[in-house]
Amino acid sequence: MPPQTSTLAEALDGRPRQPWLHDLTTCVDGNSTLLSKKTGDVDPGTAHGLYVDDVRVLSRLTVRAGGESPEWVAGGASGARAEFFLVARNLGSAGADPSVEVHRRRSLQGPQLREHLAVTSRADEPVDCRLQVELAADGQEIAAVKAGHTSRDLVSPQVGESTVSFGLSRHETTVSFDPAPHRVTADDGVVRVVFDLEVAPHETVTVSLTADVRRTTASGLDADSGSDAVAWHGLVVEADDPRLGRAFAASVDDLRHLLLRDPEAPDDVFAAAGTPWYLTLFGRDSLWAARMMLPFGTDLAAGTLRTLARRQGRRFDEDSAEAPGKIPHELRRTAYHDPESGLSLPPVYYGTVDATALWVTLLGEAWQWGMPEAEVRDLLPALRAAVGWLTGPGQPDDDGLLKYLDTTGHGLANQGWKDSVDAIRWRDGRIAEGPIALVEAQAYAVEALDHAARLLEALGEEGALHAEDAATALRRRVAERFWVATDAGEHLAMALDGSGAAVDGLGSNMGHVLGTGTLTGGQATRVAEVLTGAEMLDTFGVRTLGSRNGGFNPIGYHTGSIWTHDTAIAAWGLAREGHRAVAGRVARAVLDAGEAFGYRYPELYSGLPLMGRPAPYPASCLPQAWSAASAAVLVTVALGLRPDGRGGLLVTPPPTAPFGSVTVHGLRFHGHPFSVQAGRDGSALVTGLPDEFEVSVGNA
């Protein structure tokens, strides 16, 4: 039988459409994620499902009570858990008030799903409830689902007395029940499991199912969950604005359950980019998430650095965009093919212009936060190779700028974090032609080379002067070539195009330049003014593209939407440049957005407030690593926290506290836990650090 039509829209216009995710309930733990509608049901013909290693191992998981779907009352999800409060209005006592409740509790532990169904009666008489669970599996690949191919032929189940199994190409899923069901049948690939329950007044009867997923065939990245590998249990954030603590706790829970173990070294963990589409290692995303979490320990940074270093480029390969010293963009279990867009990537793909610089910067900052010197030294060969790429193949011609151009026709057209095809635009809205030299890629490289120079010099290694000279030269090129004047005034261009002309579109790219050491004080002030002006700063964050720019679309992926991490990085950069008051204002916008989304930060959202709330971007990943880690940036900005580069620590809260007084426990510096209390007036108190560390405190 041919695949069923994915959606009504596809039937109408003949084109598959990427599924929307904003109204789904999502659980995640490592390499496994479950998408359902708000009742908890996994419906066929949708993007719903239990996915393990980018394969949908269950495409149907529905519950009926007395022949009807229980109706939703309330529910929510965090990390690997979800709960649903439903009522069976067709059962129990007559009247307006529901008297039979169905509580669904769901949890993931790696490739194991546990689902508890509790039927509670408030009726005056015993209630007979036939509880029916329907299961099916289609084995669809995540890339096909993302492209809108949401249906596929079902696999034939193996039905036992109290278990059901689905054999797929790379996995086997076995579902067991407690207690044993009264009847199990299968028809056309759909398994129906029946429990005939009698529920006494004011009693609860519980049924549970467990789905265990086993790999039967190895892939290129058999990474298991790393949620138990980080010491984040003692992290507490308290503030006059209680939303800060709520956002931080929820975000850390989500981030923890996005962690994966490197299959080549399982003690090393890294953050998968996001669920459901990017539940794997992404150089840029994983590096940013680890960097944002540095004030709470260096383990995630160290694991991320080593995992990427093991896969650092060693040869030139056009198809994968590999080059010696280059840090990869993404790893997949198998090759990734989008049947609609034509994007086709090998399992290890290097199409990124910025991950290599971000890797170097993370190593430099992790060392400053206290990553053990022996571990840092072990990564010096990778550091030298990365610097070699930044100053060699990363600059493909004689203008001395980092740039990219996909020559294969099936790779990423844009290879910065704004990687959609229409992201880099002129002020009048025209799309820039490559090769593209992004302004933030140059700034990342300046910062990376500065870090490499300091690190090599401190460790008594050769190469510091070369890195320092390269940073100075690149800093000069940015000053000479990337400033433009438009109706928005003087500002940084987004990029240079293939002819070397400055692409004068007004975008959030300039926010990533702040704090990198690329700008003079006066230049940073001008960027701060433009970035926080009315055209760029929305009620809930920094727009990716200015509202008066040609091509502006508040619900465009990179053309006017707001990205959580993008705004958090802008706030962080403002604070690092000394603009701490306005940094606090931007950070507060991020927190306001977090409240609107129930403190579970999406990948991005619309840059168009609706009834005082940010509208969702319907296809946004949730949770997403650098969005979740952005809550840690809010804490960093509130405390004015960073190493001083000389073995000490700076704690300089904004003079106008964006969240009132803030107390944070569970911070770590060189392995030592410590706490900070920041007052509303910019004062601070640091406790717990040994006297050997110099701490500069106050509103300096």
Residue 616 near residue 605, CB atoms below 8 Å: yes
Residue 322 near residue 389, CB atoms below 8 Å: no
- Pair (632, 672) in one structural domain: yes
Q: What is the pLDDT of residue 13?
A: 64
Percent of the chain residues past pLDDT 70, beyond the cut: 98
pLDDT tens-digit series, residues 89-113: 999 998 889 999 999 999 999 999 9
**Cα–chain center distance at 34:** 16
- Pair (338, 391) in one structural domain: yes
pLDDT tens-digit series, residues 133-149: 999 999 999 999 999 99
pLDDT tens-digit series, residues 419-438: 999 999 999 999 999 999 99
Residue of 395, 204, 291 whose CA lies nearest to 633? 291
**Rounded to an integer, what distance in angstroms lies between the CA atom of residue 45 and that of residue 191?**
16
Nearest 5°: phi and psi at 117? Answer: -115, 115
Range with lowest mean pLDDT among 156-170, 467-481, 559-573:
156-170
pLDDT tens-digit series, residues 205-241: 999 999 999 999 999 899 999 999 998 888 999 999 9
Helix (H) or strand (E) holding 355: helix 355-369
- Pair (40, 83) in one structural domain: yes
Q: What angle do CA 124, 129, 135 make, to 5 degrees?
A: 150
**Rounded to an integer, what distance in angstroms lies between the CA atom of residue 409 and that of residue 344?**
9
- Pair (463, 521) in one structural domain: yes
Instruction: Note whether residue 342 is domain-resident.
Output: yes
268-294 in b/e form (b: 16+ CB < 10 A) is: bbbbbbbbbbbbbbbbbbbbbbbbbbb
Residue 514 near residue 388, CB atoms below 8 Å: no
- Pair (207, 269) in one structural domain: no
**Rounded to an integer, what distance in angstroms lies between the CA atom of residue 62 and that of residue 184?**
15
Residue 236 near residue 664, CB atoms below 8 Å: yes
Mean pLDDT of 22-32: 97
pLDDT tens-digit series, residues 537-555: 999 999 999 999 999 999 9
pLDDT tens-digit series, residues 379-400: 999 999 999 999 999 999 999 9
Instruction: Note whether residue 664 is domain-resident.
Output: yes
Residue 351 near residue 406, CB atoms below 8 Å: yes
- Pair (606, 469) in one structural domain: yes
Q: What is the pLDDT of residue 8?
A: 43
Length of the chain in residues, anyone?
A: 700
Q: What angle do CA 653, 655, 658 make, to 5 degrees?
A: 75
Instruction: Note whether residue 643 is domain-resident.
Output: yes
- Pair (386, 469) in one structural domain: yes
620-651 in b/e form (b: 16+ CB < 10 A) is: bbbbbbbbbbbbbbbbbbbbbbbbeeeeebbb
153: pLDDT strictly greater than 80? yes
**Cα–chain center distance at 491:** 29
**Rounded to an integer, what distance in angstroms lies between the CA atom of residue 296 and that of residue 237?**
12
Instruction: Note whether residue 204 is domain-resident.
Output: yes
**DSSP annotation of 296:** G
Q: What is the pLDDT of residue 220?
A: 86
Instruction: Note whether residue 690 is domain-resident.
Output: no
Q: What is the pLDDT of residue 231?
A: 83
**Predicted confidence band of residue 7 (pLDDT cuts 50, 70, 90):** very low
Strands 32-36 and 25-29: antiparallel
Report the amino acid identity of residue 96.
Answer: A
Instruction: Note whether residue 103 is domain-resident.
Output: yes
698: pLDDT strictly greater than 80? no
Mean pLDDT of 336-353: 90
**Rounded to an integer, what distance in angstroms lies between the CA atom of residue 52 and that of residue 280?**
11
215, 245, 264 - which closes a domain: 215
636: pLDDT strictly greater than 90? yes
Q: What is the pLDDT of residue 99?
A: 94
- Pair (206, 326) in one structural domain: no
9: pLDDT strictly greater than 60? no
Mean pLDDT of 272-284: 96
Strands 649-651 and 695-697: parallel
Look at the chain and report how many structural domains it folds into: 2
- Pair (309, 421) in one structural domain: yes
564: pLDDT strictly greater than 50? yes
Nearest 5°: phi and psi at 165? Answer: -125, 145
pLDDT tens-digit series, residues 639-667: 999 999 999 999 999 988 999 999 999 99
272: pLDDT strictly greater than 60? yes
Task: Quote the strand ranges of 408-463, DSSP E.
Answer: 437-438
4: pLDDT strictly greater than 60? no
3-state secondary structure of 127: strand
What is the average pLDDT value for the chain, to the nearest integer?
95
- Pair (183, 325) in one structural domain: no
pTM of the model: 0.95
- CATH number, position 538: 1.50.10.10
Q: Which domain holds residue 597?
A: 236-685
Q: What angle do CA 357, 631, 622 make, to 5 degrees?
A: 85
Crossing angle of helices 283-292 and 625-639, rounded to 10°: 30
Mean pLDDT of 67-86: 97
- Pair (174, 260) in one structural domain: no
Instruction: Note whether residue 694 is domain-resident.
Output: no
Cα distances (angstroms) measured from residue 258 to each of 30, 289, 293, 329 = 5, 11, 14, 18
- CATH number, position 101: 2.70.98.40
- Pair (433, 517) in one structural domain: yes
Please give the biggest Cα pair distance in the chain.
85
Instruction: Note whether residue 313 is domain-resident.
Output: yes
**DSSP annotation of 511:** G
Q: What is the pLDDT of residue 2?
A: 32
Nearest 5°: phi and psi at 252? Answer: -65, -40
